[in-house]
Amino acid sequence: MNAAVEIVFILVLLLSFAPWLICAKDRRLEVKMTLVQNASAHGAFCLDGSLPAYHLHRGFGAGARNWLLQFEGGGWCNDIPSCLERAQTRRGSTRYMTKYEIFSGILSNNASLNPDFYNWNRVKIRYCDGASFAGNAKFDNGALLSGCSAGGLATFLHCDEFTKYLPNNASVKCLSDAGFFLDERDISLNHTMRSLYKEIVELQGVEQNLDKNCTKSLYIPELCFFPQYALRYITTPFFILNSAYDVFQFHHILVPPSADPRGHWNRCKLNPAACNAHQIDVLQGFRSDMLSALRFFFASSRRGGMFINSCFAHCQSESQDTWFAVDSPRVHNKTIAEAVGDWYFRGRVTKEIDCPYPCNNSCHNLTP
C-alpha cells in the first residue's frame, strides 16, 4: 500500500467492511443500522446486554479509502438505578434505537453541503454504555468511542489509544464536538459535574481507561475524565469545536436544577435575550473560564485547531444548518466546515475564537 490512509477521528472504532443500506426520503440520506455481531467476543455490550451497532455509508472516488468515524453522544448514568433505567431506552440498548439515522452536516454525502468529507466512508457509532465508551471493568482498549457531546468527550479520552490499531501510514486526527465539559462550580458553588463524573468513574470502572500520565499527575485521578486535564497529554492532532455558552453545560453544569430550585433562571435558559444583567455576567464568567482552560492548547499546540463560537448551542457538526449552509454561524467569516477543512486538509493554523455574546449575529441560538 503506497497511498496513505486518512482518517478523521471524531470518535473512534474502526470497522471492517460491512453491509450498508441507504434510503432517500425528501432528499435526506438515511442509513440503516448494523449490529456488531462479533462484539461479544470482545466483551462489548450495551447496558442491557444487547449488541452495539453502527451506521455506515460507503465512500467513493477519491474518498473511498478514507474514514470518518462519528460517535453518538447522549449523557451518562452514574448509579445503578439510573443505569437500569437507561438500559430500557435507546441510550442503553440497541433494541430501542431507530433502525435508520439521517446523515447530515459532516456526515452528508452532498458535496455542496459537506465539501471536504462527502465522499469518505462515514460511520456513526451508536452510544449505549452510559460512560462515554469508557466503561466496563473488562475493557481491553479496542471497542467503542464517541463524537458529539458524550461522544466528543470520548474522543478526548481515547484519541491516542486509537492510533495504535491502525497502519503506520494512516493519517489520524481527532475532532470533538461539544465535548469540552468544564470542571466548573455551579451558581451555588457546588461541584455538581465533578461529583457526577466521580460516580461514573467509580461505578463503571473508568479509571483504568484514563490517560496514565494524567492520573499520575493529579491527586484526584477521576479529574482526568474532564478534557481540560486530559488534553495536554494528547499527542494526536486535535480539533476542538465548542460553544463558549454550551447549552448543555449552561443547564446542567453552571445552573443545574439543584442550584436553582425556585427557577429564577428559567426564562434565561429558554432565551438568552431574557437574561438579566447579573445572569449575563455569570455567563460571561463561564465563557472566560472555558477560554482559560483552553489557553495552554491555544498557545502550545502547533497541530491543533479550534472553533469556539458564542452561540447558545450543543453539537454543531451533525446539523446542516450549523455545519455548512448559507446562514451557518461564522467566526471571522469562516463556517465550522471551512475551519475544520482548513485544519485537516490545508495545513492552516485554525484557532477561531468568537467575541462575547451577543456580538455574533450569525448564531443559531438552539436552546431547548
Catalytic residues: 149, 246, 314
Count helices and strands (H / E) in the chain.
11, 13
Q: What is the 3-state secondary structure (H, E, C) of 38-89?
A: CHHHHCCCCCCCCCCEEEEECCCHHHCCCEEEEECCCCCCCCHHHHHHHCCC
State the DSSP H helix or E strand holding residue 284, giving kind and residue range, or none if neither. Answer: helix 277-293
Yes or no: say if 145 and 162 are a contact pair by the CB < 8 Å rule: yes
Lookup: cell for 261 = 430550585
- Using the 8-state DSSP alphabet, how is residue 334 labeled? E
Rounded CA-CA distance 1/130 in Å is 38
Determine the residue type at 263: G
Amino acid residing at 361: N
C-beta separation of 133 from 144 below 8 A: yes
Beta carbons of 313 and 365 less than 8 angstroms apart: yes
Which residues 6+ apart lie within 8 Å of 219 measured at CB?
Answer: none
Which among 125, 39, 46, 137 is positioned nearest to 91, based on CA atoms?
46
Handedness of CA 161, 318, 343, 113 (dihedral sign): positive
